[in-house]
Homo-oligomer: A and B are copies of this chain.
Amino acid sequence: MVLRGKPVEPAGERGASLVDAAYGALKHAIRESVFAPGYQASAGELALRLGMSRTPVHEAALRLQEEGLVRILPKRGILICALAPHDIAEIYEVLIAIEAGAAELSARLPEAARLALAEDLDRATSEMGRALAAGDLAAWGHADEAFHRLLVERCGNGRFARIIQTVNDQSHRARMLTLRLRPRLPASEAEHRDTSDAIRRGLPGLAREAARRHRIRARDELLPLIESVGLRHM
């Protein structure tokens, strides 16, 4: 067995279970492209890097496979999955459907929760504006991510949050790549305000349409870009 890289960060030991540690470390490594897509690892090698035996690594790989981040090739190894443009298109469809639903649900929350949520959403949107003015793309990305995460995590439907979490894990690498490609970043801000306003005012239909339009526009802007750049996988 040959080690082809540096040891992977053991990732904070938060879950006390070795499986959780391996899961977190591997997921982090994949998200941050420590392992490039297409890389084929073996459980033994990863176990050595993480300082544990093969069993917890294998179980973590099963969880990651369930989420679509890796594929376990029987008797051959663990393959880091690549994303094709087609996958990005599918993922956007999921975002459109679920976030629209989440916005609608949010607009039906009790008034106090609605107002607090709209407040927090606006805070994230303002942060995007500041980051854009400062030319800080990374900060803009984080604030945008915060907005969308708030929307699904506070809408009251845990299954929505879970679904979004899964596709976000898959598409995180793509987002990092495309952040630099996108024109018209400012347009997002106005659409975010439309969404949070509708939530604040308790208008489910309007909130749903605003969230929907936002994601549809982003998709229609991004997909051609990806195709034109000729990214076959990422």
Which positions in A face B, CB cutoff 8 Å? 17, 58-59, 62-63, 66-67, 74, 90-91, 93-94, 96-98, 100-101, 105, 157-160, 163, 167
With A17-B74, A74-B17: A94-B163 Cβ-Cβ less than 8 Å: yes
Known: A90-B158, A93-B159. 5 other contacts (CB 8 A): A62-B62, A90-B157, A90-B159, A94-B160, A163-B163
Shortest beta-carbon distance from A78 to chain B in Å:
14
Per DSSP, chain A at the interface is helix
Shortest beta-carbon distance from A60 to chain B in Å:
9
With A17-B74, A74-B17, A163-B163: A93-B157 Cβ-Cβ less than 8 Å: yes
A59 partner residues in chain B, CB cutoff 8 A: 58-59, 62
Closest 10 CB pairs of A and B: A97-B101, A66-B66, A97-B97, A90-B159, A90-B157, A93-B157, A94-B159, A97-B98, A62-B62, A93-B101
Closest to A101 in B: B97
Q: Are A91 and B17 in contact (CB under 8 A)?
A: no
Q: Are A93 and B62 in contact (CB under 8 A)?
A: no
Closest to A98 in B: B97
Query: 9 A-B Cβ contacts within 8 A?
Result: A59-B59, A90-B159, A90-B160, A93-B101, A93-B105, A94-B160, A96-B101, A159-B167, A163-B163
Closest to A91 in B: B159
The docked-state distance in angstroms from the alpha carbon of A100 to that of B100 is 11
The docked-state distance in angstroms from the alpha carbon of A115 to that of B167 is 31
A94 partner residues in chain B, CB cutoff 8 A: 98, 101, 157, 159-160, 163
Shortest beta-carbon distance from A209 to chain B in Å:
12
The docked-state distance in angstroms from the alpha carbon of A85 to that of B62 is 30
